[in-house]
Amino acid sequence: MKLDFCYDQHLHSRHSFDCQTPPEDNVRAAIDRGLAGLIFTEHFDPHPEEWRECVYDHQTYTGTIRRLREEFGERIFIGQGVEVGYYRERLDFTLDFLADGGFDCVILSLHAIDHRLLHLRESWENLSVPEGSRRYFTHLLEAVEFARDVNRRGRPVFNVLGHLDLVKRYTRRFFADESVEANADVIDRILHACLDAGLIPEINTSTWRQGLDEPMPGSAVLRRYAELGGRAISLGSDAHRADDIGAGFDDALLLARASGLSYVACFRDTRPQLVSLNLD
């Protein structure tokens, strides 16, 4: 499938603490993949456990984007975005950071349950899969409602909801189990809040590369989003290697169409451009 109407809107480079990929390698990979654009979404993680390792440097990052646009800008759109981790104790700090703007796309993500980082096995000690999953989705609802309240004040600050059911990546990895369906009631509230906030969920394809049989979120959540009135999704590979740019997008687009969605949202200056999925 041709991808010349799509952006990869969730990817990382050496400007994120968990990635060493040269940014220009990502751009070359996106061009080779036939994408219309890519948006770097480097980690901005105010959670105290992650902040110690966070290497986010806005001035250096902006300089990289400027250099890449000068070198490759006639061949592909290169966006500057950010993936913001939700942490309730530092919301003012987060909003102060975002107030200066200048981003093409701001992803809101949740990587922790209170003080427990999801990706650490020790965070799941004395925490069952049902309890941990419930706490994750309840906390995510809080994050999305926060974004809704902020976005209603004026021009939207948050644009995309990252990997809605991320918790399943770790409950499947650690326990070969998940509790997504058991939280359908909270997920419904999350989807309603997304619609109220103008926050577009992404199809995050990284779990396909990691051995799961579905992206984040899966087909059931995408169908429910469409039933509630959702029309558009964002696409993100969550790539930390250049080879993964745009990975799984063919299948993601087919899944979006099969779920009843109509558009891919491609962001510039935090404003979505809706491109029809009906490309036959």
For residue range 10-31, what is the model confidence (pLDDT) as tens digits?
A: 999 999 988 899 999 999 999 9
> Whole-prediction pTM value?
0.96
CA 172, CA 21: separation in Å to the nearest integer? 27
- 61 Cβ contact list (under 8 Å, min separation 6): 15, 40, 42, 80
CATH of domain 7-276: 3.20.20.140
- Residue whose entry in the numeric block shows the structure tokens 């390698």: 25
Per-residue pLDDT of the chain (280 residues; tens, 9 = 90+): 788 899 999 999 999 988 899 999 999 999 999 999 999 999 998 876 676 677 789 999 999 999 999 999 999 999 999 999 999 888 999 999 999 878 999 999 999 998 899 999 999 999 999 999 999 999 999 999 999 999 999 889 999 999 999 999 999 999 999 889 999 999 999 999 999 999 999 999 999 999 999 999 999 999 999 999 999 999 999 999 999 999 999 999 999 999 999 999 999 999 999 999 975 5
Tell me the residue type at 96: D
Cβ-based neighbour number of residue 121 at 10 Å:
9
- Residue whose entry in the numeric block shows the structure tokens 């948006």: 39
The DSSP-derived string for 56-123 is --HHHHHHHHHHHHHHHTTTSEEEEEEEEEP-GGGHHHHHHHHHT---SEEEEE--EETTEETT-GGG
- 42 Cβ contact list (under 8 Å, min separation 6): 12, 13, 15, 16, 56, 61, 81, 82, 83
CA 44, CA 15: separation in Å to the nearest integer? 10
Domain ranges of the chain: 7-276
Tell me the residue type at 150: V
Exposed/middle/buried for residue 229 (C-beta within 10 Å: 0-12, 13-18, 19+) = exposed
Q: What is the CA radius of gyration of the chain?
A: 17
Query: 217: part of which helix (H) or strand (E)?
Result: none
36 SS3 class? coil
- Residue 214 Cα to chain centre, angstroms: 16
87 token code pair: 């942490």
